Amino acid sequence: MNQEEKLDYLIAYLKEETIHACSQASVDEKISLFRGLCNVREPIPVSTDFLKIQNQFLSAWNHERPTVSINDLKAAQHQLYIWQGDITRLAVDGIVNAANSELLGCTLANHHCIDNIIHTRAGVQLRLDCYEIMQQQGRKEAAGKAKITKGYNLPANYVIHTVGPFIDSRGVSLLKERLLASCYEASLKLADEYQLSTIAFCCISTGEFNFPNQRAAEIAVQTVKAYIHKTQSEIQVIFNVFKDEDLHIYESLLAKKE
Amino acid sequence: MKKRGDFLFIEKNGDVYTLSMTPELQDDIGTVGFVEFIDEDTLEVGGAILNLEASKTVLELASPLAGKIVERNESVTNEPTLLNSAKSEDNWVVKLTNVDESVFNELEEA
């Protein structure tokens, strides 16, 4: 065997192993395998048969858990809501994804981040849409901007993708604060352009991007209120939290009426 | 006369206003690896001057002043790290005219 033939043999062997492992796996393990394969999948065209089966599977899988709509929530303040849980359960007009500057979704197999679960549950079409947007743009996505795609198999109609500022060891700076506020403004502006009646924000920049939770929530609430005040927008805004820490922070911030 | 706004220095010489990088902005973005100027010559306040990709962030650089771009520092397109230089002759971005002087005067002193 020459070098190339050796590689062909090795790749075929490893692929065979994966197929064998899959046939032995439980349904949950198969979901992980499927998710992981979608996460690392290149943004290349996909067959209509794949899409048909994928959409059937995702639609059923996404509705195994009860979805949550705005009518299930009680406003914390006029137009403002808090909801704790997985953002992909929200049956609202738009959910906001904390993306990275490649804007193609998380490419780490089964990584526990919001970008990963949103892309997984939406389906491979989401990455294909994002890829097209990025091809047209011709450069990486700047922090503090927003792009919109359909939600595909998610209970939400649209996904707004925004890149938050990354906080390194030097900590939060004025520019980073400004960029975080800009994520909220740009997303709201886009949501209003598309006439979305409800938008759900995740806690942008607070996870992998290290923005301190309290300060991030203050900026989020302040920016959303200022936007609504300035534009008289009637959009309903859900602050979607995942961790208890963020729930307490948002509850305390929205308990104060101004 | 030198002022600052939107993380940039603005130096006024007659009717020409030169925008350049502040040390704070340089620290925030890290080493610049890619720069692409916006083609549009007319700038609004908050309008995009250029897009850059740096080691710590991807950023659209916004203008603190409205005006007309009369010159771009084209050499940063080929050598993006010039924007990391401490010297304003290297790290300037654009030169503007048709700037409202009263708006400039209200900016923070550099």
Q: Which residue has the tokens 């300060």?
A: A215
User: Contacts of residue A173 in chain B, CB cutoff 8 Å?
Assistant: 24, 27-28
| Residue at A172: amino acid letter | V
User: Contacts of residue A139 in chain B, CB cutoff 8 Å?
Assistant: 34, 36, 51, 53, 58
| Cβ within 8 Å, pair A170-B36 | no
Structural domain range at position B43? 2-101
**pLDDT < 50 regions, chain A:** none
Q: Smallest CA–CA separation between B52 and chain A, in Å?
A: 8
A64: Cα separation from own chain's centroid: 20
Residue B107 covered by a domain: no
User: Contacts of residue B36 in chain A, CB cutoff 8 Å?
Assistant: 139
| Cβ within 8 Å, pair B28-A175 | yes
> In whole angstroms, what is the distance from residue A137 CA to residue A57 CA?
32
Q: Does A144 touch chain B (CB under 8 A)?
A: yes
Q: What per-residue confidence (pLDDT) applies to B8?
A: 97
Structure tokens at A201: 């924000």
Percent of all residues in chain B with a pLDDT value above 90, rounded to a whole number: 98
Size of the A and B interface in Cβ pairs below 8 Å: 38
What is the chain B residue with the closest CA to A178?
A: B6
Q: What per-residue confidence (pLDDT) applies to A80?
A: 98
| Cβ within 8 Å, pair B60-A174 | no
Q: What per-residue confidence (pLDDT) applies to A75?
A: 96
Q: Smallest CA–CA separation between A136 and chain B, in Å?
A: 15
Closest in A145, A166, A170 to B27, CB measured: A170
Q: What per-residue confidence (pLDDT) applies to B35?
A: 97
| Cβ within 8 Å, pair A139-B53 | yes
Q: What per-residue confidence (pLDDT) applies to B1?
A: 87
| Cβ within 8 Å, pair A140-B57 | no
> In whole angstroms, what is the distance from residue A2 CA to residue B61 CA?
52
Which helix (H) or strand (E) segment is A209 a member of?
none
Select from A144, A175, A98 the least CA-distant residue to B29. A175
Rg, C-alpha atoms of chain B: 13
Q: What per-residue confidence (pLDDT) applies to A68?
A: 98
Predicted ipTM of the assembly = 0.91
Number of domains in chain B: 1
Q: Which of A137, A162, A172, A175 to mutate to test the interface with B (most CBs of B within 10 A)?
A: A175
A contact residues 216-245, partner B, Cβ 8 Å cutoff: none
User: Contacts of residue A142 in chain B, CB cutoff 8 Å?
Assistant: 51, 58-60
Structure tokens at B59: 């950023």
Q: What per-residue confidence (pLDDT) applies to A257?
A: 67
CB A159 within 8 A of CB A87: no
Q: Which residue has the tokens 């509850």?
A: A251
Q: Does B34 touch chain A (CB under 8 A)?
A: yes
Structure tokens at A186: 């740009």
> In whole angstroms, what is the distance from residue A46 CA to residue A123 CA?
11
> In whole angstroms, what is the distance from residue A240 CA to residue A218 CA?
14
3.40.50.300, 3.40.50.970, 1.10.357.10, 3.40.220.10: CATH of A41-255: 3.40.220.10
Alpha helices by DSSP H, B3-74: 23-29
Q: Which of B34, B60, B77 to mutate to test the interface with A (most CBs of A within 10 A)?
A: B60
The answer, yes or no, to whether residue B13 has pLDDT greater than 90, is yes
CATH of the domain at B34: 2.40.50.100
User: Contacts of residue A146 in chain B, CB cutoff 8 Å?
Assistant: none
Q: What per-residue confidence (pLDDT) applies to A22?
A: 84
User: Contacts of residue A165 in chain B, CB cutoff 8 Å?
Assistant: 57
Q: What per-residue confidence (pLDDT) applies to A258?
A: 59
